[in-house]
Structure 1
Amino acid sequence: MTDPLLAVYDDQLRGSAEVVGARSWERSGPLWMGAFGDHGLVSYRSLAGLDRAAVAGLVRVSLDHFAADPEVATVEWKTRGHDRPAELPGWLESLGFVAEEVETVMLGEAAHLADAPAPPDGVVVRRVDALPDRAALLDAAADLQAAVFGYGGDGAELLARVERSEGNTEVWVAEADGVVVSAGRLEVVPGTECAGLWGGVTLPQWRGRGIYRALTAARAESALQHGVRHLHSDCTAMSRPILERSGLRAVTTTTPYVWRG
């Protein structure tokens, strides 16, 4: 029997849904290719039935596409653990891609995440992408991600993404004494019942106090106001327990295979 949540993921959150918010995108055969800042993303709904030669041809199409964009420095093929052909990861590695950390795809009802205890005293959770001083606040959110994860840090690209989204990208932060200590985005996927929780990050010294949970609940409540039913997240081992306690469920895994030229 097909997992209904996995069916939601495959039907509503792959292909075109994954290039929403890109500064540019193009479709070629089964591939959807989007540019996000200096990062190129390759996604697809299915490659089932393709052999190694066919996949190699698609890889060349994608690399040629992004080579024409001088801003793109890395290209990611987004693979999923339940996809076919099962040999795809090995084929990508043989073609020069390097596997990064496996993440878990979590999915569930937005209503399950909307209720959470208040953040600790002195911590304020708020949406910042529509405020008059949003440029500085988006810079702070991006800098936080760069400090913790070692990538990101481009507040200007985050601002451009917000502006391109026409209200579908929201940036939320948690602040203590005016300092951003946690941040994350809500990405509403037009034409679906879904939204994504992305970029969740908390300073190490502020973890374990319920701040990320409160930030998640605030985004879930906002999603419900948009008419969203399902929330999803590609999460690390650190975030997975929090999302599981909130009612999301693991439906598959995703592994980025990255090409750096």
Structure 2
Amino acid sequence: MDHTALLALFDRELREGARPDGPGVRVERTGDVVRRIAGAQGWNGVVWSALDEAGAAAAIAEQIAHYTGLGVEFEWKLYGHDRPADLGQRLCAAGFRPEPEETLMIGEIGELALDAEPPPGIRLEPVTGPTGVDLVADVHEKAFGTDSSRLRDELLAQLSAVPDTVVAVVAMAGDEPVSAARMELVPGTRFAGLWGGGTVESWRGRGIYRALVAHRAHVAAARGYRYLQVDALSQSRPILERLGFTPLTTTTPYVYTS
């Protein structure tokens, strides 16, 4: 499949065709916008839009009014091929704050280099309940320097209510969690998404991230998925390219806080 066709498939299955993926989550289509609503403790935001210059301002204002009315912060997840071309500037003018740009990368599982094993002294443990979730959250805070309370709540809810749609794994050095990652399995699509892969600073550069990607890829393949999708930060992109992932476009979170 060529890059244009693959990007169109991604848009169709995961963005325009987005569906509820957790307890209490709603997905709504209003005009040419698809949005996710998950309450105060979940991720809320616009996942797809097909706007033109004439209708963009009204659509942006409608989403601000909707989420502000719910009393929640939300994100407009903007991709490099979204239209109109100046949508990012329009979002900034409306009060959104852009976060660091990421690269949308997709790999066909059967074509990836998945022979990476954990380095000596590291074991990978599946996360199935609260104890494992706490380890994932601990790594997240150390690796990214951000609060992990929402991650903890959402992962616990998924593992409890829809365990077949999420895979989480933590890399342990003895009793110390040093890296962790999760994977979202989207029923009815050909895609599984890799999220949250992070390693504490003192353990980076040893191949743990590669091992976590390979582990999740094998699980996805066993469950019948064809593609892996990643929103990659700059430090992850070279590793993923060496594994066989292809960069397709950029994606930038635009955050609105009322």
> Structure 2: how far apart are the matches of 1:240 and 1:11?
24
**What amino acid maps onto 1:140 in structure 2?**
L
CA separation of 1:144 and 1:35: change in aligned 2, threshold 3 A: farther
2: CA distance, partners of 1:69 / 1:164 = 24
CA distance in 2, matches of 1:147, 1:76: 24
Aligned to 1:30: 32
Give the drift of 1:246: 0.7
Q: CA deviation at 1:128?
A: 1.2
1:147-199: per-residue Cα shift (whole Å, max 9, x none)?
32233412233201333434111111111112211111111111111110011
Number of residues of Structure 1 aligned to a counterpart in Structure 2:
252
TM-score normalised per structure 2: 0.89
Aligned equivalents of 1:50, 1:226: Cα separation in 2: 42
Instruction: Select between 91-100 and 13-22 the one with higher mean Cα deviation.
Output: 13-22
1:10 matches 2:22: no
What SS does the aligned partner of 1:13 have?
Answer: helix
Q: Deviations over 1:106-150 (max 9, x none)?
A: 001113446223211121113212xxxx20210220232123223
For residues 3 and 107 of structure 2, the distance between their equivalents in structure 1, rounded to whole angstroms, comes to 16
CA separation of 1:196/1:58 partners in 2, compared to 1, >3 Å: closer, same or farther? Answer: same
Q: Does 1:46 align with 2:45?
A: no
What TM-score, normalized to structure 1?
0.88
Cα distance, 1:34–1:190 mapped onto 2, change above 3 Å = same
| Structure 1 residue matching 2:105: 3-state secondary structure | strand
1:151 and 2:150 correspond: no
Q: Within the alignment, does 1:250 sit opposite 2:240 as a pair?
A: no
Report if the CA contact (8 A) 1:139-1:153 is conserved: no
CA distance in structure 2 between the aligned counterparts of 1:220 and 1:68, rounded to whole angstroms: 40
Stretch moving more, 162-171 or 185-194: 162-171
The percent identity for this pair of structures is: 40
1:183 corresponds to? 180
Which residue pairs with 2:75 in the alignment? 76
Helix, strand or coil at the partner of 1:106: strand
Q: 5+ residue gaps in structure 1?
A: none
| 3-state SS, counterpart of residue 173 of structure 1 | strand
* Structure 1 residue aligned with 2:125: 126
Q: Distance in 1 between matches of 2:37 and 2:4?
A: 31
Aligned to 1:93: 92
Task: Indicate the residue corresponding to 1:63 in structure 2.
Answer: 64
What is the rounded CA distance, in whole Å, between the counterparts of 1:258 and 1:194 in structure 2? 25
Q: Does the residue aligned with 1:257 lie in a helix, a strand or coil?
A: strand
For 1:12, the aligned partner's letter is: E
Q: Do the aligned residues in 1 keep the contact of 2:20 with 2:26 (CA within 8 Å)?
A: yes
Distance 1:66 1:173 in 2: 34
User: Tell me, which stretches of 5 or more residues in structure 2 are unaligned?
Assistant: none
Q: Select 2:135's aligned residue among 122, 137, 140.
A: 140
C-alpha contact 1:10 1:45 (8 A) present in aligned 2: no
Q: Secondary structure at the match of 1:136?
A: helix
Cα distance change, pair 81–184 in 1 and its aligned pair in 2 (3 A) = same
Change over 3 Å in CA distance of 1:22–1:14 after alignment to 2: farther
Deviation at 1:60, TM superposition (A): 2.7
Q: Is the 8 A contact 1:106 1:234 kept in 2?
A: yes
Among 214, 218, 222, the alignment partner of 1:217 is 214
Asked if 1:105 corresponds to 2:93, the answer is: no
Provide the C-alpha distance between the structure 2 equivalents of 1:216 and 1:5, rounded to a whole number of angstroms: 21
